Structure 1
Amino acid sequence: MFHKEGHKIILITFIFVIASFLLVDSFISIKWLQTTIMIALLVFLVLILQFFRNPKRKTAINNRQVMAPVDGKVVVIEEVFESEFFNEKRLQISVFMSPINVHVTRYPIGGNVIFSKYHPGKYLVAWHPKASEENERTTVVVENETYGKVLYRQIAGALAKRIVNYAKVDDKVIQGTDSGFIKFGSRVDLFLPLDTNVKVQLNQKVRGGESIIAETNE
């Protein structure tokens, strides 16, 4: 199953690959060169298909827990001052996505969307310390009565030139369902209460909608 954000690109890629096969067969007579080009075209197609895959995830819905919003590796767990919405110290947990990861963004908790904003910006590498504040990004805050407020931020990287965000203020959302998509490698930051019970470690790999990032101590 492929994400809807990739349908147009996948179709264009299929047409390009088929047309290229016909041209190679018609105008290149050297067999080894034909084979090399065709293999390269097939690899390119497979990479595009892999990037836009959208596997089904079984989210065990729990309002006391924060689920990983994306697939990737935990690269930051630290206390920071969050200045856009909370204006106070929060616990930042960041997940970095490589180009081969699933790039669907999922709601980390269920509840009501109380904030959603797009910011144009730079395209620093996703692991740059200033990427969270200077890169193109979207900030979304979801609230429920059990856990409270969770802010997650989709951040564009050096390759990611388009962020898709479905969250709108006053939406009632379900934990683990699609909230957006980031094209071609980036990261997502979570900002959680300081007293939250963290369930992941640095460099741990997580799966969006399935891995538990944190849970309330109450």
Structure 2
Amino acid sequence: MNNKMTEAIKSIFNGLPDIPHETYFQEGFFRDPVRTINTDDRYFLSPADGFVIYNGIINPDEAITEVKGKKYSIQDIIRDKHYDKRSLVIGIFMTCYDVHINRVPYDGILSYSEHEPLETNNLPMIDVENNIFYKENIELVYDDYLSLNQRVVNKVYSPGINREYYMVQVGDYDVDTITPFHIQQHKPVYQGDRFSMIRYGSQVDLVIPVTDDDELTSLVTEKEHVTGGMTKLVRINDSSL
């Protein structure tokens, strides 16, 4: 494991009791530590704990990565072939060490849709985790889970900035691991609030449509570890905020 990953793992475990890893893996996925959330309407906060695996502004049908020669685009992320907005996309992979509670990046009204696996079962994501920990560069060319696995697409409209954004939760090998805390459409949500959890290995993608590439600035880089509800992922370049 490289030094950067080792330090990230240490920071995740900082403050936890000295317990066997087996016990941690049985109980750690379900921990929900108290966090002091500093809300700020100039920023989108991270929706999840984990490592950034891709990050950039792309066209809706443009490849974020290619899986065995197949392009994986924003349209694939949100399972909508009619999506036509250029967007900032940040993918966050939640490892076995991370808190699996998901939080709201920015105030708004949340609605969601559930999408079943495109094949009989979800595909395992363990290879991505090993890749993150043991390789210098993240390679996603073998990861069919990106397009095939079960997911929940959460759409949030933020009236304060007249903008919508998406949080896409992707489940691991076991199905039905994505558990929203409130089964309610068009629910008001607030920055930093807990809204859902994903049991075991998982991923959350933040998708924010843009009309101008300069209106948002990503503040993170690939392989950086981020913390849900605390890390500032994106700055909104609006002088009125």
How would you bin the TM-score normalised by the shorter chain? Answer: 0.7 to 0.9
> Aligned to 1:98, which of 90, 95, 98?
95
Contact 2:85–2:209 at 8 Å: present in 1 too?
no
Matching of residue 191 in structure 1 with residue 207 in structure 2: yes
What pairs with 1:75-154 in structure 2 (closer than 5 Å)?
A: 75-78=53-56, 79-81=58-60, 82-83=74-75, 84=80, 86-113=83-110, 115-121=111-117, 122-126=121-125, 127=128, 130-147=144-161, 148-154=163-169
Matching of residue 209 in structure 1 with residue 229 in structure 2: yes
What are the Cα deviations for residues 89-133 of structure 1, in whole angstroms up to 9, with x where unaligned?
2121000011111000111111111x3001110423445555343
Alignment coverage as a number of residue pairs:
177
Contact 2:150–2:175 at 8 Å: present in 1 too?
no
Equivalence for 2:71: none
Q: Distance in 2 between matches of 1:161 and 1:169?
A: 19
Percent identity over paired residues:
24
Matching of residue 170 in structure 1 with residue 186 in structure 2: yes
Equivalent position SS for 1:117? strand
Max Rg structure: 1
RMSD: 2.3
Deviation of 1:145 after TM superposition, in Å, equals 2.6
Q: Distance in 1 between matches of 2:22 and 2:35?
A: 26
Contact 1:71–1:101 at 8 Å: present in 2 too?
yes
Contact 1:162–1:182 at 8 Å: present in 2 too?
yes
Q: 1:43 to 1:189 in 2, by over 3 A?
A: closer
Equivalent position SS for 2:22? helix
Q: Specify the code of the residue in structure 1 equivalent to 2:54.
A: V
Gaps of 5+ in 2: 1-19, 61-73, 129-139
What are the Cα deviations for residues 32-70 of structure 1, in whole angstroms up to 9, with x where unaligned?
xxxxxxxxxx65333222221101122211223111111
Contact 1:160–1:184 at 8 Å: present in 2 too?
no
Q: Specify the code of the residue in structure 1 equivalent to 2:152.
A: T
Gaps of 5+ in 1: 1-41
Q: Specify the code of the residue in structure 2 equivalent to 1:141.
A: K
Equivalent position SS for 1:187? strand
Equivalence for 2:172: 157
> Aligned to 1:51, which of 16, 29, 34?
29
Q: Distance in 2 between matches of 1:132 and 1:189?
A: 10
What are the Cα deviations for residues 1-58 of structure 1, in whole angstroms up to 9, with x where unaligned?
xxxxxxxxxxxxxxxxxxxxxxxxxxxxxxxxxxxxxxxxx65333222221101122
Q: Specify the code of the residue in structure 1 equivalent to 2:157.
A: E
Contact 1:76–1:93 at 8 Å: present in 2 too?
yes
Please identify which structure carries the higher helix content.
Answer: 1
Contact 1:97–1:185 at 8 Å: present in 2 too?
yes
Equivalence for 1:10: none
> Aligned to 1:66, which of 19, 24, 44?
44
Contact 2:25–2:96 at 8 Å: present in 1 too?
no
TM-score (norm. length: structure 2):
0.66
Q: Distance in 1 between matches of 2:97 and 2:33?
A: 13
TM-score (norm. length: structure 1):
0.73
Q: 1:69 to 1:90 in 2, by over 3 A?
A: same
Equivalence for 1:11: none
